[in-house]
Chain A
Amino acid sequence: MHPALLRSRRAFLADVGMGFTGLALGAMLYREGIAKAAPSPWQPPTGQPHFTPKAKSVIWFFMIGGASHLETFDPKPAVSKYAGKSINETPFKEVLTSPYLENERIVAPDANGQIRTRLYPLQVGFKKRGQSGIEVSDWLPNIGDCIDDIAVIRSMWTEDSNHGAQLQFHTGRHRLDGYFPTIGAWVHYGLGSLNDNLPQFIVLGRPLADCCGGMEAHRANYLGPKHDGVPLTVDPKNPLPFALPERNVYLEEQQAEFGLLNRLNRLSSVEYPADEKMLARIKSYELAFRMQTAVPEVFDFRNEDKKTLDMYGKGTFAKICLSARRLVERGVRFVQIYHGSNGGAGGWDAHSGLKNNHTKNCAEIDRPIAALLKDLKQRGLLDETIVVWATEFGRTPGSQGATGRDHHPYGFSVWMAGGGIKGGIVHGATDELGFHAVEHRHYVTDIHATILHQLGLDPHRLAVPGRKRLEMEIGKPIKEIIA
């Protein structure tokens, strides 16, 4: 029997009036765009995990431009030892004929994205850190303090040797294949809300430039725009588009308007008892009204103690990291954080002056990210929050010009922490030059698969009929790093 028939008019009114506390947002919002496009036996996700989850939320850091694996988490003494020599003159010349080179898919010939053969020495020292003794770059002393909570994956590879790889890391597909739902959108699509006052997929930091994927790196594509990441600005006065009315409007005035609107819509919904869209709209207005205050509140740090504020340090990125904690604390599922957007290829794109570039970039992120890890841990949130640090590719062992490194898709490093990920381990390896990922190779979507696994989601069960996903697009969980 149709649900609308089971409800009396009175009960229906009561339901509308009661709002939706306790209801999952994902189940609550209308899903017509998807549901209609599919054959009837298929149902959209319920918002419940498919199996017992280990984590609830994700904080996803993305370093735009390509952070050097060689100067962050994958030290290679041989690169310094043979510095100035051509790779052909070293015992490791076979890297230049490896079949792995075939994985590259070139968009257009370009001055960048070349194989550089003249080895360029490491620009920074490394120290063994923590109980685990994992080597971490001296440019990242604070993150080094947290290494025992981190699983470093040194064997990543991707296909695009240009900055379209930024998009690829988020969708799992090469830029030439088009646009696809991103990992954050899949999480949003698969899981219900933990907080009815906030969007569940939030983007902080200036997004990618148009060149490299733009907004598509946090969009939901065919899953529908309701699963898009919502970019917020760490500014309590103006955190998202249309977040607040202009200054000429009084909050009491607006509240009265929302009150009248609610009454009028409820009257209409009595006229149309089977109109679930009407119900969804009433609820969306209720949420919108609460978001107006809930969203600025997230960025209002007045209640944070001085010790915490000091730990994160100063500057925009520190505010972003603190906001990330406040967001997951309030139940937001996926916080995507960009670092290094410069309207172009990205701030980490050190084709020249790598030393200065990475010293500056590392200094910007090191303290805030470490503070976030410590802060999450001290509040018991790290167990249920997966933190990911990623970048689109590494940088060439060979030099570009006199002081830089080029794009390097064949082997690079990312790390994960929290949410049931083992700490203090290194997984996978590149060869002696840091050229190819050779041990436990992982394409970028293995990170996606690991995240979904920890959240209790089976990507195959999320698949939308008529939208075939490649196995490569789905990836496989990295079991070895799961606690």
Chain B
Amino acid sequence: MRATTWLTVCLLFVPSTAWAGPQKVDYVKDIKPILAEKCFSCHGALKQRSRLRMDAAQLLFKGGRDGPPIVPGKADESLLVKRVLGIDGQSLMPPEGEGEKMSHQQVALLKAWINQGANAPVEPVPPDPREHWAYKVPQRPAIPQLQNTSWVRNPIDAFLAAKHEEQGLAPAAPASKEVLLRRVYFDLIGLPPTRDELHAFLEDKSDDAYEKVVDRLLASQRYGERWGRHWMDVWRYSDWSGYRNEIRNSQPHIWRWRDWIIESLNGDKGYDRMIIEMLAGDEIAPEDPSTLRATGYLVRNWYKFNRNYWLDNTVEHTMKAFLAVTINCTRCHEHKYDPISQRAYYELRAIFEPHQVRTDRVPGQLDTSKDGLPRAYDADAKAPTYLYIRGNEKHPDKSRLMTPGVPSVLGGELQIEPVDLPLTAYYPHLKDHVVHDLLEAADREIRQANQELAKAKATRDQAAQKAKADPKASPDLELAEEAWSLAEKKVAIAKAKRSALSARIEADRAKYANQPSFKELALSAGAAERQASLLQAEYGLLQAEGALRKAQRSAKANDKKSQDALAAAKKNLDAARKKWKAAQDAMKSPSPQYTPLGKEYPRTSTGRRLAFARWLTNRNNPLTARVAVNHIWLRHFGAPIVENVFDFGLRSPKPRHAQLLDWLAVEFMENGWSMKHLHRLMVTSNAYRMSSNSRAAPAANLVKDPDNHYFWRMNSRRLEAELVRDSLLYVAGNLDLTMGGPDIDHNLGESSRRRSVYFRHAYEKKMKFLELFDVASENECYRRSESIVPQQALALANSTLSLEQSRLLARKLHPSAVKSPEFVIQAFEQILARKPSAEELKICTEFLARQRKLLSDKSKLTPSPNPQASKIAPASDPILRARENLVHVLMNHNDFVTIR
């Protein structure tokens, strides 16, 4: 009966061509996509439920445990058709909860194809996705044996040279010393060499002149700032954003995480340790504020309006940043390419489900809106995670509670152990510095009250003097007396609050130390608090009485306004009396009720995040080290080894330099995940020292490998936004190298001279100048883009920043360069870290002469219509002004913004 009804529906809705009509149904075009969507996830390479595999036509015809599912020519007899319809006692496929049933049109197509004979080609059997290269634990490959080892300085070179030999490519000649020096300076510290440093390097003829520079740069504090910004891109650093003062995303004071990143890199903290601290710093070092800063990584995802959005971002980007796994699509359905189920997404979410964000107090500041330590902690171990059906948060599948887990294809599992937290972690209000600051604030209040009292007394004494001389002034005296007694009361209140605070601290301490004295201390804390409340009520009463007297004095019988005021004053007094009475009554019955210093947080943390971080940094995790190595390689060589830096899944075929990647990944892990070790290996390789100029290699290279896939030359790159700005300031000797601290207003980018990494960076809060040069999107930036647009030219040509710095630098070089060529050479060395060529020297010298002439008669010149002017005006001397112009031109030179 049901089947009949359905057939009727089918006849009504299916276009006639879909029946065995004239149109031929094509397996590859029409049928396979339907089967892929509905069936492959359980009957494919990864899983073969009922021993049935359907992802190649011949396997489909062969069938599984229940025999061949298709009877060619006879759709109605085919098991597959019965199953997708759920008729003839066959259970419906896909089963409930595993996908939507086939639409009428899809079934009609399927039946038509079978009725037409079920023709299909023999297809290659798709490989098991678990065999994908990136899911295999990296093993250290043997270093290739080469015919010619002259080029090989370290194993990186050996791996590349083997490929060069295989491809018939010859490596480019080494870059000049100038080019190499500037390259390695920018790469390691994000700043160019100074003239002195350039000269020193050029003059150092020792064999290890370059290695010495590398060691010095890696030891420089600037290194952490340079690489900190790289990792801030990958880890989605964002200062808080919001609408006016409303915080909507991330948190204030998250700059502490930025400082942690910079410090950790400078200290060469292992990458594994960094991951653990970022994901679970609160579980591994719950009492160490320095480590807690790292959890800014999680705090950054805080989102005011929607917890799902917040956790989705946490899951998606944690998987992308550390593992290059694109998991976000599995929020709604099974992964279309990778062997990752929808369930895996929610198991990952369960790792983060209990965590929340809070801001702890920092020494010297009780008000966390002014300063504090934003951090993650587990707030609710029992918070349930449910799979959202088709990703729709309105439809959670409450029949199944999701437990923490990791995608099985990556191997390993979570070893979750709850972490018992120390007192100051779950009750931070008893930290020494908090207690100290609370008491000091109470003392300060007493001091202030005493000062007020002294003032009130002086006023009253003056009023008394006056009243003696002039009885008409007695109302003033009365008011002054009133103010005096109020001030006295204020002092009493402040003192009582101070005592209450001490008592509360004592009581809290006893409580959390499980001391028997707690009961007694709670009683005294309660009493002290009620004493303070009573005084406060007395103060209120005094105030209300005073107000009533004032209202009585100014009341006029037929003035409604003043009568209303009088009535209101009476009412207030009544209320104040009631309050006072209540406070007095409260004094009579002793009670251990007192206000604790603050909220208690859970005493244990679930340990889920720590377990996850340990899984991530396990030697057998196939992805973590490879992904990090790829990011670092990209930033030294201008191109990654794995093209898509955030997706190592099945859409990323095995890279050309897979062995090199694996060798580096193992080398990385076996050297304590030291990034500096990797940097040193990379930048001291011969590969790194090559020229980026294709002319430095045989012309045949360009034909064989025009895109430099085999690294036969260095890639040139444009400076990142921050480096453009920092360098403008630095070459002029004006970069302020102060480190760390609160984010600087992004609007001050042209006036503040701090390094760019310290400026506010958030949604709608980014420096304009940096934005034009493709600064990272705070939302997602696994790789910077390098655009070349006219707005960049305008920024470099017209910004106050570049105009001012060019003037300042020209004036600095001016006195020591008597002749024009001297000046040109100095300017080239200072700005571009190289000497000018003969031709450059000639045209620049000519320019200086011409420009000087042009500027000597200003009456013929047209000022720019822009009404603004910078603080540092151009020089009045045309010789110097011409020199300023030259410096300005060199700051706009392509070589200035290019790492060769």
Contact = CB atoms under 8 A, between A and B. Distances in A.
A134 to B, nearest CB: 37
Contact of A176 (B306, B639, B716): B306
A236 B305 CA distance: 42
Contacts of B803: 245-246, 249
Interface stretch (B60-68, B500-508, B892-900): B892-900
Interface stretch (B9-17, B115-123, B202-210, B860-868): B860-868
A33 B798 contact: no
Contact of A237 (B793, B867, B885): B867
Given A256-B885, A260-B843, A273-B695, A237 B865 contact: yes
A1 interface: yes
B870 A248 contact: yes
Contact-residue size bin, chain B (C-beta under 8 Å from the other chain): 35 or more
Contact of A257 (B242, B309, B870, B888): B888
Given A247-B867, A260-B889, A271-B693, A5 B703 contact: yes
A4 B701 CA distance: 12
A284 B793 contact: yes
A199 B699 CA distance: 38
A252 B861 contact: yes
Contacts of B867: 237-238, 247
Contacts of A214: 763-764
A379 B843 CA distance: 49
A39 B703 CA distance: 20
Interface in B699-735: 699, 702-703, 706-707, 716, 718
Interface string B856-900: 001011111111111001100000000001101110111101100
A178 B316 CA distance: 13
Given A2-B706, A107-B305, A284-B793, A247 B764 contact: no
Contacts of A37: 643-644, 783
Given A242-B797, A245-B866, A291-B794, A264 B840 contact: yes
Interface stretch (B33-41, B468-476, B587-595, B846-854): B846-854
A257 B861 contact: no
A195 to B, nearest CB: 13
B302 to A, nearest CB: 14
In the complex, which of the residues A261, A273, A291 has the most CB atoms of chain B within 10 Å of its own CB atom? A261
Interface in A139-186: 176, 178-179
Say whether chain A's binding surface is mostly helix, strand, loop, or mixed. helix
A211 B241 CA distance: 10
Contacts of B703: 1-2, 5
A124 interface: no
A178 B779 contact: yes
B643 A260 contact: no
Contacts of B897: 281
Contacts of A128: none
A242 B840 contact: no
B756 to A, nearest CB: 17
B824 to A, nearest CB: 11
Interface string A252-277: 11101110110111011101111101
Contacts of B329: 468
A178 B328 CA distance: 12
A30 B717 CA distance: 13
A209 interface: yes
A292 interface: yes
A179 B764 CA distance: 13
A280 interface: yes
A238 B873 CA distance: 20
Contact of B866 (A215, A247, A275, A284): A247
B863 A275 contact: no
Contact of A256 (B847, B863, B895, B898): B847
B89 interface: no
B839 interface: yes
B768 interface: yes
A33 B771 CA distance: 15
A347 B768 CA distance: 26
A33 B865 CA distance: 36
16 contacts: A4-B694, A29-B789, A30-B786, A34-B785, A242-B791, A243-B794, A245-B866, A247-B864, A248-B873, A251-B861, A252-B854, A253-B885, A264-B844, A265-B893, A278-B898, A280-B788
Interface of A: 1-2, 4-5, 29-30, 32-34, 36-37, 39-40, 107-108, 176, 178-179, 199, 209-211, 214-215, 221, 224-226, 230, 236-238, 240-254, 256-258, 260-261, 263-265, 267-269, 271-275, 277-278, 280-282, 284-285, 287-289, 291-292, 296, 344, 466, 468
In the complex, the 3 A-B pairs of residues with the closest C-beta atoms, listed nearest first: A33-B785, A288-B793, A250-B861
Interface of B: 241-243, 304-306, 309, 329, 639, 643-644, 647, 651, 692-695, 699, 702-703, 706-707, 716, 718, 763-764, 768, 771-772, 774, 777, 779, 783-795, 797-800, 803, 837, 839-840, 843-844, 847, 850-851, 854-855, 858, 860-870, 873-874, 885-886, 888-890, 892-895, 897-898
